[in-house]
Amino acid sequence: MNRENFHTHTVFCDGKNTAAEMAEAAAEKGFSALGFSGHSYLDFDCGWCMSKEGTDKYNAEINRLKEEYYGRLNIYRGLEYDIFSPGIEPGDYDFTIGSVHYIEKEGEYLPVDDSFDKQLEGADKYFSSSVYGYCRAYYDTVGQVLEKTGADIIGHFDLVTKFNEGDCRFSTKDPQYISACVDALDRLLPYGKPFEINTGAIARGKRATPYPSIDIADYIHSKGGYFILTSDCHNAPDLDCFFDEALKMYSKYEIVSFEEILREKLK
Query: Which of 3.20.20.10, 3.20.20.140, 1.10.10.10, 3.40.718.10 is the CATH number of 4-266?
Result: 3.20.20.140
Comparing CA positions, the residue from 2, 13, 1, 46 lying closest to residue 233 is 13
135-179: pLDDT as tens digits:
999 999 999 999 999 999 999 999 999 999 999 999 999 999 999
154 touches 227 (CB < 8 A):
no
- Beta-bridge mates of residue 229: 197
Are the CB atoms for 34 and 74 separated by under 8 Å? yes
Cis peptide bond upstream of 212, omega within 30: yes
Write the DSSP symbol of residue 233.
B
3-state SS assignment for residue 229: strand
Question: Any residues with CB less than 8 A from the CB of 118 and at least 6 apart, and which?
Answer: 110, 111
Nearest C-alpha neighbor of 70 from the set 78, 60, 80, 62: 62
CA neighbor of 236 nearest in space, from 31, 56, 77, 94 = 31
Which residues have a Cβ under 8 Å from the Cβ of 69 and sit 6 or more positions away? Answer: 23, 27, 75
Q: Where are the domains of the chain?
A: 4-266
pLDDT grade, residue 2 (50/70/90)? Answer: confident
Q: Within a 10 A sphere around the Cβ of 145, how many other Cβ atoms?
A: 25
Task: Dump pLDDT digits (tens) for 95-109.
Answer: 999 999 999 999 999
User: Do 173 and 128 form a contact (C-beta atoms < 8 A)?
Assistant: no
Examine the pLDDT at 251 and tell me if it is beyond 90: yes
Say how far apart CA 195 and CA 212 lie, in whole Å: 9
Average pLDDT over residues 25-38: 98
Please name which of 207, 57, 72, 79 lies closest in space to residue 155, comparing C-alpha atoms: 79
Q: How far is CA 194 from CA 89, 146, 160, 198, 261, in A?
A: 20, 11, 19, 12, 10
Pairwise CA distance, residues 240 & 236, whole Å: 9
The answer to whether residue 87 scores a pLDDT higher than 90 is no
- Provide the mean pLDDT of the chain: 97
Residue 188 has pLDDT above 90, yes or no: yes
Residue pair 132/120 in contact by the 8 Å Cβ criterion: no
